[in-house]
Amino acid sequence: MNPSLIDVGIAGYGCSIPERSVDNNYFTRFFETSDEWIMQRTGIQARRWLKDDEKPSDMFTAASERCLEKSGVNAEDVDLIILATVSGDHLGVPATACIVQDNIGAKNAAAFDIQAACTGFLYALSVGRQFVATGAYKNVLVIGGEGLSRIIDIYDRGTSIIFGDGAGAVLLQPHETCQQGLIEDITLGADGAGAQFITRPRGGAMEQITPDILSEGTHQLRMKGREVYRFAVSRMTELMAWAMEGQDPEELSIVVPHQVNKRILETATAKLDLPPEKVYINIDKYGNTSAGSVPVALCECLDAGKIEKGKLVVMAAFGAGLTWGGARLRW
Ligand code: UT7
């Protein structure tokens, strides 16, 4: 990083996962599938979905409040809120970050959403880091989360089984202030030629929602899983390798990857010869929560004492866009 910029660290963290757990057998009433197929192909045993009376912003708010409490920072002192999501409360307007800003009482904060699907948290982390690194802001709240259960088609067996709801948040500060979670490096990428592989094909501003679209369900999430599978394996492997290039492997505390699919993570781990215990996996209980998955996994690793002070944490994510991102932190 440019030496005139300020080093940025993570002062605190928090996450929120819905209580409602949906097991694999739930799907057998909608289409032909089995617990065995889902477990074997994805590693998912259950996912958490919002209850009917809960909103995505409820999770984003709870994660943010926990994060501020852990950071010891008052909501009025937050300068900026960046929320990464593709499944906020509304269809893009207003930004759900503004709803969170009001809920937590961060009345002095600017707020906006960004979307880079499963890579969203890493994009948001990178954007937030710039505001702190330039000295523009001192407290930037970065949230990644999804209410994907609200945008899937329950009858589409290629997507409905995979996705879950959840959210995590971190507070960025100058590293000098918080003395932990130093963000050493971030890399981001995109390839729009793969845009059609994971998409809500119809019902955007390109084409207004019609009764036909509603009955087809093509305003909901569709994924050509097989087409992106190989790409996901190689990208996740490359991102983890990028983060560790020139680093002593002994320095690695843990890899916190996007919980894309357990098989993809296991293949990447084996290709890099990493000990399996160095790659955190929680997809079995939460499913793939897209922008929520990296921050939720980070929170769990920190709470479980899996991150050693002074050692490296690697984050890697891949998703719709197509987009990808990696980060190396020194805790
Ligand atoms: O996080 C964002 C980025 N996402 C990704 O990177 C997703 C990457 N892809 C995947 O995780 C996997 O492709 C899936 C888990 C989505 C699917 O697993 P797969 O091993 O790639 O299965 P497939 O799509 O190749 O389907 C194999 C067969 C098909 O039947 P035929 O054509 O061989 O007769 C599917 O119709 O399995 C069938 N199938 C199912 N069977 C039972 C697809 N979904 C299901 C299901 N239950 N839920």
pLDDT tens per residue across span 49-108: 999 999 999 999 999 999 999 999 999 999 999 999 999 999 999 999 999 999 999 999
Number of domains in the chain: 2
Query: In angstroms, rounded to a whole number, what is the distance separating the alpha carbons of residues 73 and 103?
Result: 16
Residues 6+ apart with CB under 8 A from 151: 86, 87, 200, 220, 221
Residues with CB under 6 A from ligand 1: 33, 37-38, 41-42, 118, 157-158, 161-162, 198, 225-226, 228-229, 232, 260-261, 288, 318-319
- Does some domain include residue 1? no
Phi, psi of 265 (to 5 degrees): -70, -40
For the sheet with 165-174, list strands across it: 8-16, 165-174, 140-147, 80-84, 110-114
Question: Using 50, 70 and 90 to split pLDDT, how confident is the model at 4?
Answer: confident
Predicted TM-score (pTM) of this structure: 0.97
In this structure, the answer to whether residues 231 and 173 fall within a common structural domain is no
In this structure, the answer to whether residues 169 and 199 fall within a common structural domain is no
In this structure, the answer to whether residues 161 and 221 fall within a common structural domain is no
Q: What is the CATH number of the domain that holds 125?
A: 3.40.47.10
Task: State the distance from the centre of ligand 1 to the C-alpha of 1, rounded, in angstroms.
Answer: 40
- Does some domain include residue 2? no
Atom of ligand 1 nearest to the CA of 157: 48
- Does some domain include residue 21? yes
- Does some domain include residue 3? no
Catalytic residue among 139, 178, 288, 301: 288
Query: In angstroms, rounded to a whole number, what is the distance separating the alpha carbons of residues 328 and 310?
Result: 12
Active site residue 118: yes
Residue minimizing CA distance to atom 48 of ligand 1: 157
Active site residue 288: yes
Task: State the distance from the centre of ligand 1 to the C-alpha of 41, rounded, in angstroms.
Answer: 7
In this structure, the answer to whether residues 110 and 134 fall within a common structural domain is yes
The pLDDT tens digits for 213-272 are 999 999 999 999 999 998 999 999 999 999 999 999 999 999 999 999 999 999 999 999
The amino acid that residue 151 corresponds to is I
110 forms beta bridges with 80
Question: Using 50, 70 and 90 to split pLDDT, how confident is the model at 43?
Answer: very high
Residue 48 has which token pair?
Answer: 């958490």
Residues 6+ apart with CB under 8 A from 37: none
Catalytic residue among 67, 118, 178, 299: 118
Please check whether residue 221 is in contact with residue 307, taking contact to mean a CB–CB distance below 8 angstroms: no
Q: Could you say which of 157, 179, 201 is where a domain stops?
A: 179
Active site residue 25: no
Mutate to test the pocket of ligand 1, among 87, 159, 229 (most ligand atoms within 8 A of CB): 229
Q: Could you say which of 179, 208, 232 is where a domain stops?
A: 179
In this structure, the answer to whether residues 149 and 193 fall within a common structural domain is no
In this structure, the answer to whether residues 21 and 119 fall within a common structural domain is yes
In this structure, the answer to whether residues 200 and 140 fall within a common structural domain is no
In this structure, the answer to whether residues 241 and 268 fall within a common structural domain is yes
Bond into 249 cis (ω within 30) = no
Residues 6+ apart with CB under 8 A from 121: 84, 142, 144, 168, 291, 292, 293, 294, 295, 317
Query: In angstroms, rounded to a whole number, what is the distance separating the alpha carbons of residues 220 and 232?
Result: 22
Q: Name the DSSP letter for residue 153.
A: -
In this structure, the answer to whether residues 72 and 48 fall within a common structural domain is yes
- Does some domain include residue 196? yes
Q: Could you say which of 164, 179, 194 is where a domain stops?
A: 179
Residue 153 has which token pair?
Answer: 């088609």
Please check whether residue 187 is in contact with residue 122, taking contact to mean a CB–CB distance below 8 angstroms: no
- Does some domain include residue 317? yes
In this structure, the answer to whether residues 167 and 198 fall within a common structural domain is no
In this structure, the answer to whether residues 303 and 289 fall within a common structural domain is yes
In this structure, the answer to whether residues 199 and 304 fall within a common structural domain is yes
Domain extent at residue 288:
183-330
SS3 135: coil
Query: In angstroms, rounded to a whole number, what is the distance separating the alpha carbons of residues 263 and 82?
Result: 31
Task: State the distance from the centre of ligand 1 to the C-alpha of 258, rounded, in angstroms.
Answer: 18
- Does some domain include residue 306? yes
Average of pLDDT values for 145-165? Answer: 97
